Amino acid sequence: MNYYESIGDLLLDLHADLQDIGDEIIWVYYDQEEKVIDYRYKASPDEKRPVPLQQQTIREMNASELFKSLQ
């Protein structure tokens, strides 16, 4: 997990991943203030939702959807 300090850094990595991996389903990690702090591509379509750490929320979405929502 990276836990990005800035949305700009996250967007740079996500853009590169979209080009390399494609628009796959990802896990998006949010902090207690509902700010995106990380993402991770799912290992398989039927992968179970990861267990969130303290006061985190984890949601499933397409990588392109996250990218568009953060621009």
Question: What's the pTM value of the predicted model, to 2 decimals?
Answer: 0.88
Q: In the chain, where are the structural domains located? A: 7-70
Per-residue tokens: 43? 């290992």
C-alpha closest to that of 1 among 33, 59, 41: 41
pLDDT in tens, 9-64: 999 999 999 999 999 999 999 999 999 999 999 999 899 999 998 899 999 999 99
Amino acid at 12: L
